[in-house]
Amino acid sequence: MSPRALVMEPLTKAAFAPFGTVIERDGAEIRMINEGTTTRYHALSGVDVAAGGGTAILSIFAGTPRPVPIEISMMERHPIGSQAFMPLSDHDWLVVVAPTNGDDSAPDFNGLRCFHARGDQGVSYAPHVWHHPLLVRQPQDFLIADRAGPEGESDSANLQEHWEDSPVAVIEI
């Protein structure tokens, strides 16, 4: 079977809600702080990392574009913590997610969705959400809010991957 073409849809809070939250200024509670010199866009997303003794960490990921068309043959998820991505430059990027199949063991590739994110939008994947690793259209850095486990916990404790033998979908850019 040949892979199906994924159609990009705009990243909106409503469309992405089943998978997590969109991090953006639009609609945010605004608080003026620091004697009125700073605008705070308050509580854009939560961070869910405390399960199993986890703590929040911040990292920077440096994304590199993949060959076009982008082939989708794997997905990953983080079962005991959320993971948030916020671009550090104003470049559009892509977010690919899938619902879970009926027995919660793999992504439902029939439900794959591809979101076109603006450079001023980030996402926070809820725990257990199947998503493709970072997809950028040009080299781009991201600030990541993620879970670190307690001492002695393997990095793989909060990572599950699912691979298909051949691509199930492609994205033309």
Q: Strands 8-10, 113-117: parallel, antiparallel or unpaired by DSSP?
A: parallel
Query: pTM of the prediction?
Result: 0.95
Task: Compute the mean pLDDT over every residue in the chain, rounded to the nearest whole number.
Answer: 96
Band of pLDDT at residue 53, cut at 50, 70 and 90: very high
Query: Tens of pLDDT along 82-121?
Result: 999 999 999 999 999 999 987 888 999 999 999 999 999 9
1 has a pLDDT exceeding 80: no
Provide the domain count of the chain.
1
Range of the structural domain that residue 74 is part of: 4-171
Q: Which long-range contacts (CB under 8 A, 24 or more apart) does 39-45 make?
A: 45/20, 45/21, 45/84, 45/122, 45/124
The domain spanning residue 100 has which CATH number? 2.60.120.480
171 has a pLDDT exceeding 80: yes
Query: Tens of pLDDT along 7-46?
Result: 999 999 999 999 999 999 999 999 999 999 999 999 999 9
Q: Which amino acid is at 121?
A: Q
